[in-house]
Every structure is written in structure tokens, then in C-alpha cells.
Amino acid sequence: MGAATLYQLARAGASVVGIDRFAPPHDQGSSHGDTRITRLAVGEGAAYIPFVRRSHVIWRELEAESGEALFEQCGVLVMTSSEAPARHHGSEDFTGNTIELARRYGIDHEILHASQIKARFPQFGPIRDDAIGYFEPEGGFVRPEKCIAAQLDAARNLGAAVITGETVSSIESEGGVVRIKTGERTIMANKAIVCAGMWSANLLGEPFSALLKVCRQKLFWFKLEEPSIFPQLSPTFILSHGPLETDICYGFPPIPGEGSMKIATEQYTALDSIDTLDRTVSDEEVAQMYQSHLAGNFAGVTPELVKAAVCTYTVTPDYGFIIDDHPAFANVTVVSACSGHGFKHSAGIGEAVAQRTLTGRSDVDLSAFSLSRFGAR
């Protein structure tokens, strides 16, 4: 969110500085792990659709500028293979909502029955015979680290300053001027935008500490059988295979040369403190992932782990994003809590936040992301 916002502000001609405690792209927050799903029919809610639409355009512009492949339009397949509809990211029937939004917003798609899914995508051969699928050809995946690097490079080329390895210790405003303190310096700015991911509550205090929870998530890359029936650049997928919000997994086609399939599930237990985040994935967690999500749902994937990573979701009580002014500090905007599906929207969010910061309004309506919905203003 920070890289996208910095890039868009620089592109609009603002005098702008980005500050990060690490050197993005890095693997300490919520934006690492090689790939992120993108889809236009955002089952989490219609308010997100303009962001992802703009992001798809911006990824292509950045690809032309940087020469990097950022967005693989391999399609996305959202499936329910269970008796009851599945809850996901706050939506009671995620696949149903996705289909409904695609119809309402004219998003190109196909509805596939189990026999069609199995024939076209044999890697999902074991799914139930009454499973249903939504296939969106415009979806696929983006490469988060490359997207971040491309936006930071572009921002620098447009004159933005990027300070890395420096932690912001406080943000205050007085008389309309924002004072940003790090261990090394104090920066006075007309405006500040805080995109601090899982560190947001620590930096901003109330009401964010009451609203945000940080949840540890794991990413797994399992080795494919040889010869592989999991084609490269086949669709990314979200598979609901039970009624609980943990009965869901999502994954990616094999990246050329890797011989593995990246897959993950989600959980919503809050960390007591982000300082206690366990960044290692245990053998038990690997075995549990395979047994609970892969066995019986996929063909062609072995239980052998190639690599694993830990990442975090920063989640609000209604799973929605927060993009709003800080209630106590004038001219400070908070962009965070992207609850597990933020990356696909990030380029569009950066553009909307830059517009709002510079002109007071944005092309995309941001009212669905206000703090007022929590009674927090």
C-alpha cells in the first residue's frame, strides 16, 4: 500500500518521501511469498471492484515501464466442493457472492459444474461430483515483490525520496502540520499517509488497537508428482471444501522451473503481540495442511514440502479495509487492515489515496472503508 501510494503521489507531481523500517520488498510483513491471487469479481464486496479494475491497468503500465512480468492473467477458479456454502473473508457464501457480482458488473466468466472442472483441470479431479466453479479468465496472479520494487523504482525516478531501514516512532499533528519522528530525524509534512500493515496498531494506538487483530498465516509449496498433471499457468484457485472459514484453501499454478504448487489456508486467531510472531513452519503444520486441505481435493501433488513461509493478515471486526483520516491527528490518513486480500487492490488504492490526498476527492468511492462503520470517530 505504501509503495503504491508513494508512486501515485510522485506521479501526480507531489513532493513526497516514503519511510520504511525495512527495505521493501521484504519478507517481514504481509506482502511476500512470490504470488498473490487477483480476481475482478471480488466476493468480499462490490466496493472493492473499482480498485482491482484499476490495479489491472496499472500493473500493465508498470510492466511496460519496468520490463518486469508483474501480472499473469492465467484465470482464476473459485470453487465450492461441500454440502453447505462456505464462509470466507466475511462473506457467508463466497462462491455464490462471486458469481452474483460477476453477473451484476458484467465481468466475463463461466460457471462450471464438477464434470467440466475435472475434464478441464484434472488437478481438481477429486472434488465432489456436486461441486460448482466460477472461472474468470481476466483473473490470475500478481508478483508482489516485483510490483513493490517496480513502484518504488518508478517513484524514485519521479523524484520521490525513499528512506529505508528507519522506523517511525511517532506521528503527531499540530496546527495542520504533521510531525513524523524516527530514531534519526523529524520530518515536518503537510500530510502523512500511514500504511503500516501489522504494525499499524502499535504505531497509531486507539482506536486502531481495539479494531485490528493480527493473525499468523502460513504458505506452503508442495512438490508435484512427475509427470505433472498440474499445468503451468493454469488458473489460480480458491477452494471451499466445508462450511467453516477454515475449510478453505487457495493456491497457484506451478511457476516455471519450480516443480511445486503453492497453497495456503487461513486462520483468524489473533496474536497476543506481533513481537511473538513465530516465523517458522513446523513439520506438524506441514502434515496438517496436507491432510486437511490437499488430500482428497487435489491430484498430482505430493506431501513433500519444497518451502514454507509465514505472513500476517491484519483484520478488522468486519473483515473490511480501513482507508480514512486518523480521528485524532489532522492531515493523517490511515490505509491498512487489508484482511487477506489487499494486494490485488493495492495499485488502485494507491491511486485513490493519492487523489484524495492531493485534491480532497478520489475517482473511487472510499466511503465503504471509513472508520465510522465501527462507531470509532
Ligand X SMILES: Cc1cc2nc3c(=O)[nH]c(=O)nc-3n(C[C@H](O)[C@H](O)[C@H](O)COP(=O)(O)OP(=O)(O)OC[C@H]3O[C@@H](n4cnc5c(N)ncnc54)[C@H](O)[C@@H]3O)c2cc1C
Q: What is the chain's Cα-based Rg?
A: 21
Cα 185 to Cα 159, 176, 182, 343, distances in angstroms: 20, 20, 5, 30
The number of beta carbons lying within 10 Å of the beta carbon of residue 245 is: 19
Helix (H, G, I), strand (E, B) or coil at 336: strand
Chain position carrying cell 503527531: 172
Q: Which stretch binds ligand X (CB under 6 A): 19-27, 116-124, 276-284, 355-363?
A: 19-27
Which CB, 21 or 356, lies closer to ligand X? 21
Write each residue from 331 to 370 as x if it is in contact with ligand X (CB under 6 A), else as -, in one continuous string.
-----x-x-xxxxx--------------------------
Q: At residue 93, what is the residue type?
A: D
232: alpha, beta or left? (left if phi > 0; alpha if psi -120 to 50): beta
220 forms part of the interface with ligand X (CB under 6 A): no
Q: How far is the CB of 163 from ligand X (least distance, A)?
A: 9
246 DSSP assignment: T
196 forms part of the interface with ligand X (CB under 6 A): yes
Q: Which stretch binds ligand X (CB under 6 A): 129-137, 151-159, 309-317, 356-364?
A: 309-317
6 forms part of the interface with ligand X (CB under 6 A): no
Which CB, 1 or 58, lies closer to ligand X? 1
Write each residue from 107 to 146 as x if it is in contact with ligand X (CB under 6 A), else as -, in one continuous string.
----------------------------------------
Report the C-alpha gap between 217 and 252 in whole angstroms. Answer: 16
Q: Which stretch binds ligand X (CB under 6 A): 65-73, 92-100, 287-295, 305-313?
A: 305-313
Q: How far is the CB of 310 from ligand X (least distance, A)?
A: 8
CA proximity to 368, closest of 2, 101, 49:
49
Which CB, 112 or 353, lies closer to ligand X? 353
87 forms part of the interface with ligand X (CB under 6 A): no
Report the C-alpha gap between 302 and 209 in whole angstroms. Answer: 41
Sheet of 192-194, strand order: 192-194, 332-336, 322-325
53 forms part of the interface with ligand X (CB under 6 A): no
Q: How far is the CB of 23 from ligand X (least distance, A)?
A: 9
Phi, psi torsion values for 86, nearest 5 degrees: -105, 140
Which CB, 43 or 342, lies closer to ligand X? 342
Which CB, 336 or 355, lies closer to ligand X? 336
Kindly identify the residues of this chain, within the stretch 241-280, that bind ligand X according to CB under 6 A: 264
22 forms part of the interface with ligand X (CB under 6 A): yes
Q: At residue 198, what is the residue type?
A: M
Phi, psi torsion values for 182, nearest 5 degrees: -120, 180
Report the C-alpha gap between 205 and 258 in whole angstroms. Answer: 42
Number of residues that bind ligand X (CB under 6 A): 33
Residues in touch with ligand X (CB under 6 A): 1-2, 19-22, 24, 29-31, 36-37, 167-168, 195-199, 203, 217, 219, 264, 311-313, 336, 338, 340-344
